Amino acid sequence: MADPAGCCRPCATCLLCLYSCQWITAKKEKRKGLRTTKCDCSWFLFLFLIFLFTLVWLYFTIIILNDFHNFNEFIFKQRNLWLDWSLVLLIATAVLITYSATLLVLALCLQLCGQPLKLHWLHKTLLIFTALVVAAAFTGLGIKWAEEWRSARISLQATGPFLHIGAVGGMTLLAWPLASFIYRTHSTGLRVSLLLPYCAVMIALYLAPLAITSPCIMEEKQLPPKPALVGHRGAPMLAPENTLMSLQKAVDCDVQVFETDVMVSADGVPFLMHDEELTRTTNVQAVFPERAALNSTAFNWTDLQQLDAGSWFLERRPFPTAQSLSASDRLEVAKQRIPSLQQALEAAKQSNISIMFDLRPENHSDYQSFVNATLEAILESGIPLQQVLWLPDGFREQVRQQAPGLQQVYGRKRLQNEKEPLLHVNLPYQDMSSEEIRQYRQDNVSVNLYVVNQPWLFSVLWCSGVSSVTTNACQVLKEMKRPIWLLPSSTYLMIWIVTDSVSLLAILWAFVLLKKCSQRRQPAESETDVLLTKINSLMQE
């Protein structure tokens, strides 16, 4: 097998060394009998599939970053260990995708250089290990975090058009090593078995836009108003969650609603706290070590006021933004205490923003007394009742009677034959399709979806017409003046046609060009074989 023109022997030798893990020179006599077998082709196919597998996992990793703070909180509750596991996941995924991509590039370069694909056993072992790791990751995702599959489907509305272009481009580049291999092999069956799947995949990719839908494929004039921002526990990327500082930072981000969680102390004082235990967001283990594992509602208000609700934010850095706080903000963080609902209502009243809250824990035996204490705090605060969005389902009818001015928000979709029409719904963003959002909007039902942190997700929901989103990243979404991308259908159609046309021409060019190169090599190789035969005959004589 002669070295193709343009492929220097040192380069071929280095490629063989990296791929085969042994120093094999590219001279014919040194590699006599070294050929790409069917087994080698099978390992190359396995390598290609592993690369695609890890690429898909990389995509999932990027998508689930929107919700990864929930995973960090879950691990803390289980192991009492705080770590930004998203960094660990990204680094591990980057290592796997880099390794498989490097091997794939080496194999393609070896094929273009006409060298044998002898994958070393160590690489084979590591590829199998990579496949097992990624398969385990997908399995764990499906078991413990199944809603992220719905997040992935939503993400395709934001990335579908660009994934199509990338897939077409990648498969088009693959035409070069494929054509090179086809013109070198003499097996008709092998040629057909490679060409047919390749052609089928390309046809499927060319027609893929027929199945791609996105709410952001629309005219500029059809774009709905920008969704209002609801601060999830305030502005938790800029200040400790569920504190007055977090509320003020949310106000600075132009949020319209402060979303929080309310619990009631042992002596009947409603206060802001999300977790049932105080260990994650306070220094309860230092102040009350013997009571640290108790439910938050087991502490009286005097005890709760002794706890530091801010320093953990600087120590654990739940978000990367915690590192960039100014000196004055750091001093303010250290002063934070657990606020009562009364204090939060007064701050919301002064800032002229609404407040929305859950009342926890819903399964508590004294839940009705919690509802009464919370209602009492609201009525005593003097805040206009229309600024309070009531989320708890328990004893809702009683709440309506005692405070009819409260805005009732439901954590469910509409039911058939609903006696009283819903005006406000609050749901996870995975639970509503773009079509449902549009229908609710047409029926004047306010839809708030949570928790939306990434600009791509905010863009999709904006194009869909959602009323508001609950977010941790109000400082990011505040700066967005329009969705990340917005394409008229006519423009997208043009991009589709141009992409497919350029790809088809490039593939045809690759096969024609390599066909000519193959035809030029054949006479030279034939003359060499004849000459070698004559020399061999003379030596035998």
Buried b (16+ CB within 10 A) or exposed e, 216-254: bbbeeeebbeebbbbbbbbbbbbbbbbbbbbbbbbbebe
Examine the domain organization and report whether 196 and 288 are in the same domain: no
Examine the domain organization and report whether 469 and 498 are in the same domain: no
What is the pLDDT, as a whole number, of residue 26?
46
Examine the domain organization and report whether 437 and 318 are in the same domain: yes
CB 429, CB 457: distance < 8 Å: yes
Question: At residue 313, what are phi and psi to the nearest 5 degrees?
Answer: -65, -35
Examine the domain organization and report whether 394 and 499 are in the same domain: no
What is the pLDDT, as a whole number, of residue 2?
42
In a domain, residue 535? The reply is: no
> What's the angle, vertex CA 308, arms to CA 303 and CA 311, rounded to 5?
165
Last residue of a domain, one of 452, 479, 506: 479
List the CATH number of the domain containing 371: 3.20.20.190
Token pair belonging to 195: 């060409």
CB 499, CB 163: distance < 8 Å: no
Examine the domain organization and report whether 313 and 167 are in the same domain: no
- pTM to 2 decimal places: 0.89
Examine the domain organization and report whether 353 and 468 are in the same domain: yes
Q: Say how far residue 449 (Cα) sits from the centre of its chain.
A: 17
Neighbours of 155 (CB within 10 A): 22
C-alpha–C-alpha distance, residues 359 and 343, integer Å: 16
Examine the domain organization and report whether 347 and 441 are in the same domain: yes
Question: Coil, helix or strand for 420?
Answer: coil
Examine the domain organization and report whether 415 and 498 are in the same domain: no
Examine the domain organization and report whether 309 and 367 are in the same domain: yes
In a domain, residue 533? The reply is: no
- Where does residue 317 fall: left (phi above 0), alpha (psi -120 to 50 degrees), or beta otherwise? left
Q: How far apart are the first and last CA of the chain?
A: 27
C-alpha–C-alpha distance, residues 36 and 392, integer Å: 67
Question: At residue 407, what are phi and psi to the nearest 5 degrees?
Answer: -85, 120
Number of domains in the chain: 2
In a domain, residue 352? The reply is: yes
In a domain, residue 219? The reply is: no
CB 157, CB 213: distance < 8 Å: yes
Token pair belonging to 528: 């060499």
C-alpha–C-alpha distance, residues 65 and 453, integer Å: 9
Q: What is the DSSP string of 357-414?
A: EEES-TT-TTHHHHHHHHHHHHHHHT--GGGEEE---TTHHHHHHH-TTSEE-BSS--
For residue 202, which of 232, 178, 235, 219 has the smallest C-alpha distance?
178
What is the pLDDT, as a whole number, of residue 31?
45
Dihedral, CA of residue 60, residue 63, residue 65 and residue 70, to nearest 10:
-90
Examine the domain organization and report whether 371 and 441 are in the same domain: yes
Examine the domain organization and report whether 76 and 121 are in the same domain: yes
Buried b (16+ CB within 10 A) or exposed e, 111-128: bbbbbbbbbeeebeebbe
Q: Domain containing 430: what range? A: 228-479
CB 262, CB 360: distance < 8 Å: yes
Examine the domain organization and report whether 407 and 432 are in the same domain: yes
What is the pLDDT, as a whole number, of residue 112?
79
Token pair belonging to 45: 């196919």
In a domain, residue 378? The reply is: yes
In a domain, residue 506? The reply is: yes
Neighbours of 337 (CB within 10 A): 17
Q: What residues pair up with 355 in beta bridges, in sequence order?
A: 258, 388
Q: What is the largest CA-CA distance in the chain?
A: 117
Token pair belonging to 481: 């003046």
Neighbouring residues of 321: CB distance < 8 A, sequence distance ≥ 6: 237, 238, 475
In a domain, residue 3? The reply is: no
C-alpha–C-alpha distance, residues 317 and 394, integer Å: 35
What is the chain's pLDDT, residue by residue, as a tens digit (541 residues)?
444 444 667 777 788 788 887 665 544 434 444 677 888 888 999 999 999 999 999 999 999 999 999 999 989 988 888 988 999 999 999 999 999 999 999 998 888 777 888 899 999 999 999 999 999 999 999 898 889 999 999 999 999 999 999 999 999 999 998 998 888 877 788 889 889 999 999 999 999 999 999 999 999 999 999 999 999 999 999 999 999 999 999 999 999 999 999 999 999 999 999 999 999 999 999 999 999 999 999 999 999 999 999 999 999 999 999 999 999 999 999 999 999 999 999 999 999 999 999 999 999 999 999 999 999 999 999 999 999 999 999 899 999 999 999 999 999 998 887 777 889 999 999 999 999 999 999 999 999 999 999 999 999 999 999 999 999 999 999 999 999 999 999 999 999 999 999 999 999 999 999 888 777 765 544 554 455 455 556 555 5
What is the pLDDT, as a whole number, of residue 233?
97
In a domain, residue 4? The reply is: no
